[in-house]
Structure 1
Amino acid sequence: MANISDFKASLGGQLSADARIVGSEGTVLRWDGYSAPKPTVTVFPQCEEDVAKTVRFCRQKGLRCFAQAGGHGWRVRNRTDIDVVICLTDMNSIKLDEGTRKVVIGGGAIVRELIEAVTEKKLEVATGICNSVGVMGSMLCGGIGRYMGKYGLAIDNLISINFVDATGKLHRGVNQDTDKDLWWAIRGAGASFGIVTEATIQAHPQSNNGLSWSGVLIFEDPSKLEAVIGAINNLDMNENMCVHFLFARVPPTLSPAIVVMPWYYGPREEAEKAWKSILDIGPTAAKTFMAPADKLNDGNDQFGEKGGRKPGVGLGIDFLNPEAYRHIWDLYVNFSSENPDAARTVILAECYSKVKAISMDRNSAVFAHRDSKYEVLCVPWYSDEKLDIRATDFAQTVRNIWVQKCCEQDKIRSYVAFSGLNEPVETLFGSGERIDRLMEVKRKWDRENYWGALLDIE
């Protein structure tokens, strides 16, 4: 167990003047408390050298450390025995070169900070869909988001990184030319090899002055479920479109409802034409609006709220099977009705244009699932730990339905950022030579399996 007095006395003098070391009372809240680590020490570094020194100190003391920025990563569940959290939130600098449109991002920056910085310069970047998520965590898992139809995944726009390895050594300017295998592996499984303290990415000029059309369509009549699913399955998703489809309880009555959140990067008249098939079904309530670029993700702020217990699961699926989704709807209504503490439970499907992402070489990065039609999530959300067994059983039942009814045979895929507890490594990265290569990189950079994270080696 980490000793706060020892940390302050021995490590404190080595760190920057503004670096902070706090005890368990300073533990930073995570998105999911279901199996979050309970560190006895949290360190707030101010620079990359602080991170490296903290890792070296932890290794010398036989302590396990873990870095967090937004605190939303699911796979920390495989490493709950954390003594020390290295909280990177103070390392959130964002520097933009307007000439090259390259953006240098500190390891603690969150998505909102990045979007606001590039929007100010009339630029945009491929990034995640939740403002409070750490940029690094989202990006190094692959990075899916609204602009991926135009620019591909976030990792497709990554130029270089700095990171601290398991020995506490800082490596600067890692890219395709400096280490081809590490560059391949870290783009999709980054948390398995070290703490990324800085990244350089490519930004792009805004379209339509950054304005996009967004909507929230609420269908309270469950008999319209099949019609909604049919319309979504038949969408012609161009590069300017994405849609979020979910089951949720909506205010003020908190009745279970079918919610569709369409998005279109372009003028209203084009958007309404693109989404006509769903609008014509007749939602109970509809709110549509033109959103500026810096408000791109605001509609997801509630989902990104930290705290609570959320033992979720996620998969990449090939189609929304109406029969399967009718079954999932019934399960959702029953679970959230019988357990009022779990009223915020959500079943979510995200669909993006994948044309640009698929055009990239699949073997250019360990990220494997460029061709999933939908990314789906089942997130039981509650506070009472007595619901843990019931909630995990519910999530696993929904996952099994997706596997059996919505996936091509023997093609089970899970997006790393949404992967549930103990998801097999093959569902994350593929199989055969891909796993063999990934494990070789792991052995080279983390032979003692210090980081664990996505991969565990013997």
Structure 2
Amino acid sequence: MTVNGNSIRQFRDSLRGQLLVPENEGYDEARQVFNAMIDRRPALIVRCAHVTDVIAAVNFARETELPIAVRGGGHSVLGSAVCDEGLVIDLSGMTNVSVDPDKRTARAAGGTTWGDFDRATQAYGLATTGGIVPSTGIGGLTLGGGIGRLNRKYGLACDNLLSAEVVTADGTLVTASVDEHEDLFWGLRGGGGNLGVVTSFEYRLHPVGPVLGGEIIFPLDQARTALRFYRDWSTDAPDELRADATLVSTPDGPGLAFEVCYCGEIDAGEKVLRPLRQLGSPMLDTIDSVPYATVQNLLTEVFQPGMRHYWKSGFVREFSDDAINAIVDFFVADMPAPFAAIAIEHLGGAVSRVETHDTAFAYRQAKHSILVLRMWDDPADSETNIAWGRRCYARAEPFLEGGAYVNYLGDEGETRVRAAYGANYERLVALKNKYDPANVFRFNQNIKPTSDMPLSAHQT
């Protein structure tokens, strides 16, 4: 739908923030997202400065029938933060974090990144489970569940969410918590961005001082032995430990890297990590007592903006010898140029002590997840790199339980979207029918309402 210039001027005048159109300076920068595979041109970008801008943008888009995309950190591999010929609600200017150290809570605006959040909370020696790349937005990660380095001790990011302020599809600002709009609150904890624009998040915080963290890297010829050890050791580990294992090709060569974060007493952590550190002949061991921010930044240099990405993932209940052999054999035989990875992420612990239906995030019993990741720079290499990612995932797929982590999901079709929400999909459809019956918020891993009627028709 074409929007006339007078309407756009009136809309611009109503905002505290900035409205960008394609002719404006800064437009091209504002439409760029983490995954450089995404090259979309929205009609309007609203750089929101206040929740009133979000309300105005939702109302304007609905009245003009413009599609809406919502940008927090812009870190989704799907590129759902930007859409063609629509309106982008950009929250990246809304980054205030308010910490209450006595109550051990923090409230953060919807555009906050985990780097912003960790800096604010670590000033008080506090933290909550958050993304392992600091430029990731708190919004997308939390709404999709929220795997992070503290997840085995303190649960997912969504498990630590206490309340959220949400602009719904009809432009209403509501608070969702266990006491208000509790059905919406349930859906926000794993249902993705399907139910509204979250303008602030309130989290429970935990004492997190120095941690025992860093990397151990083994040569590729030790990968089978090391991964078999890792499977048993990580499954039996105390909740304070998260240890991820990654088969990786880098400019320095291939290897098997372990990234560890032990968030308990350092002496106890030394005992837990000693068997790993005494295993085989590592090429590198950087594990030490370090600030939490240090382990949160282990991947900062790897995940620089401007690269092209292909990801595919699934959950693992049992990491068998056959699974280990399959992925190592593939990686050795079909190793691409840098950067490629098969990452095995450490779950269980507190994540598994929440029931499947207690939050919208359904995959509580998985002990590990597997993420196939391919990253490159030259657009001419896209077909080759995507093909490698698909071959790699096909080799791992027989050992996966069939679901998917919604935050790692690309453009993989409706069947995979349903799989990502798992046993909670139908309940999420009912929430979509209630809070967004016209599917206003559809640039996401979309939960389709039962009927795509105009919102006004549902309100009469």
Deviation at 1:116, TM superposition (A): 0.9
Match of 1:231 in 2: 229
Matching of residue 447 in structure 1 with residue 450 in structure 2: no
Query: Larger deviation: 420-429 or 240-249?
Result: 420-429
Deviation at 1:294, TM superposition (A): 3.1
Match of 1:292 in 2: 291
Matching of residue 9 in structure 1 with residue 6 in structure 2: no
Q: Which of residues 36, 60, 66 in structure 1 aligns to 2:69?
A: 66
Deviation at 1:299, TM superposition (A): 0.4
Match of 2:147 in 1: 144
Task: Kindly provide the amino acid, as one letter, of the partner of residue 441 in structure 1.
Answer: L
Match of 1:350 in 2: 345
Q: Matches of 1:29 and 1:290 in 2, distance apart?
A: 37
What is the aligned length? 439
Q: Which runs of 5+ in 2 are unaligned?
A: 452-460
Q: Matches of 1:152 and 1:425 in 2, distance apart?
A: 23
Deviation at 1:246, TM superposition (A): 1.0
Q: Matches of 2:79 and 2:436 in 1, distance apart?
A: 17
Q: Which of residues 271, 274, 277 in structure 2 aligns to 1:273?
A: 271
TM-score for the superposition, normalised by structure 2: 0.88
Match of 1:256 in 2: 254
CA RMSD of superposed structures (Å) = 2.4
Q: Matches of 1:298 and 1:237 in 2, distance apart?
A: 23
> Which ranges of 4 or more aligned residues in structure 1 deviate by more than 6 Å?
1-4
Matching of residue 93 in structure 1 with residue 96 in structure 2: yes
Cα pair 1:144 1:154 within 8 Å, conserved: yes
Q: Structure 1 344/444 Cα, relative in aligned 2: closer, same or farther at 3 Å?
A: same
Cα pair 1:313 1:379 within 8 Å, conserved: yes
Matching of residue 191 in structure 1 with residue 188 in structure 2: no
Deviation at 1:258, TM superposition (A): 1.4
Deviation at 1:323, TM superposition (A): 4.1
Match of 2:129 in 1: 126
Deviation at 1:109, TM superposition (A): 0.4
Q: Which of residues 200, 203, 206 in structure 2 aligns to 1:201?
A: 203
Q: Matches of 1:50 and 1:77 in 2, distance apart?
A: 20
Q: Structure 1 8/289 Cα, relative in aligned 2: closer, same or farther at 3 Å?
A: farther
**Which residues of 2 match residues 38-49 of structure 1 at below 5 A?**
38-49=41-52
Q: Matches of 2:177 and 2:363 in 1, distance apart?
A: 22
Q: Matches of 2:286 and 2:259 in 1, distance apart?
A: 10
Q: Which runs of 5+ in 1 are unaligned?
A: none
Deviation at 1:26, TM superposition (A): 3.5
Deviation at 1:47, TM superposition (A): 0.4
Cα pair 2:112 2:137 within 8 Å, conserved: yes
Matching of residue 245 in structure 1 with residue 245 in structure 2: yes
Matching of residue 437 in structure 1 with residue 427 in structure 2: yes
Task: Kindly provide the amino acid, as one letter, of the partner of residue 386 in structure 1.
Answer: A
Q: Structure 1 226/7 Cα, relative in aligned 2: closer, same or farther at 3 Å?
A: farther
Match of 2:86 in 1: 83
Deviation at 1:296, TM superposition (A): 3.5
Match of 1:312 in 2: 311
Deviation at 1:268, TM superposition (A): 4.7
Q: Matches of 2:12 and 2:274 in 1, distance apart?
A: 60
Cα pair 1:108 1:134 within 8 Å, conserved: yes
Match of 1:412 in 2: 402
Task: Kindly provide the amino acid, as one letter, of the partner of residue 265 in structure 1.
Answer: C
% identity of equivalent residues = 22
Cα pair 1:217 1:287 within 8 Å, conserved: yes
Q: What is the DSSP-based 3-state SS (H/G/I as helix, E as strand, rest coil) of the residue aligned with 2:287?
A: strand
Task: Kindly provide the amino acid, as one letter, of the partner of residue 196 in structure 2.
Answer: G
Query: Larger deviation: 82-91 or 20-29?
Result: 20-29
Q: Matches of 2:407 and 2:374 in 1, distance apart?
A: 16
TM-score for the superposition, normalised by structure 1: 0.88
Q: What is the DSSP-based 3-state SS (H/G/I as helix, E as strand, rest coil) of the residue aligned with 2:357?
A: helix
Q: What is the DSSP-based 3-state SS (H/G/I as helix, E as strand, rest coil) of the residue aligned with 1:302?
A: coil
Q: Structure 1 247/5 Cα, relative in aligned 2: closer, same or farther at 3 Å?
A: farther
Matching of residue 428 in structure 1 with residue 409 in structure 2: no
Q: What is the DSSP-based 3-state SS (H/G/I as helix, E as strand, rest coil) of the residue aligned with 2:412?
A: coil
Q: Which of residues 175, 178, 186 in structure 1 aligns to 2:177?
A: 175
Q: Matches of 1:37 and 1:154 in 2, distance apart?
A: 30
Q: Structure 1 334/31 Cα, relative in aligned 2: closer, same or farther at 3 Å?
A: farther
Deviation at 1:322, TM superposition (A): 4.1
Task: Kindly provide the amino acid, as one letter, of the partner of residue 359 in structure 1.
Answer: R
Q: Matches of 1:279 and 1:413 in 2, distance apart?
A: 33
Q: Matches of 1:25 and 1:10 in 2, distance apart?
A: 23
Q: Structure 1 85/318 Cα, relative in aligned 2: closer, same or farther at 3 Å?
A: same
Deviation at 1:229, TM superposition (A): 0.7
Deviation at 1:145, TM superposition (A): 1.4
Deviation at 1:216, TM superposition (A): 1.4
